[in-house]
Amino acid sequence: MKDRSKTKQALSQELASLRQRNEELEKSEAARKKLEETLYESVRKYKELFERMSIGLAQYKPQEDMKAFVHRVDQLMYQGKKNGKDRVCSESY
């Protein structure tokens, strides 16, 4: 009778251990799913950003005032936006 009691106790402990491991695996899977969703959302936002990006490209001229340079680049960027999204506009030389 004593051996049978130990067996029941050992099985109960094993069952409790398996339940705890199962809970840990479920938590890990939930964390993995959340990470996967976050990754897909980041990829979607990244693609959306670059599908809508307009860039103004200009070469800095020696002795040029920085405000004037930024203004030229800014105007090129807005020209790109006006011509449609996802454009690079540059000055011709």
pLDDT digit string (tens) for 55-75?
A: 899 999 899 999 999 999 999
Averaged pLDDT, 79-83: 87
Instruction: Please list, residue by residue across 19-51, b when 16 or more beta carbons sit within 10 angstroms of its beta carbon and e when fewer do.
Output: eeeeeeeeeeeeeeeeeeeeeeeeeeeeeeeee
- The structural domains of the chain, with segments of one domain joined by +, span 1-51, 54-93
What is the per-residue DSSP string for 18-29? HHHHHHHHHHHH
pLDDT digit string (tens) for 20-65?
A: 999 999 999 999 999 999 999 999 888 877 777 888 999 998 999 9
Assign 2 a pLDDT band (cuts: 50, 70, 90).
low
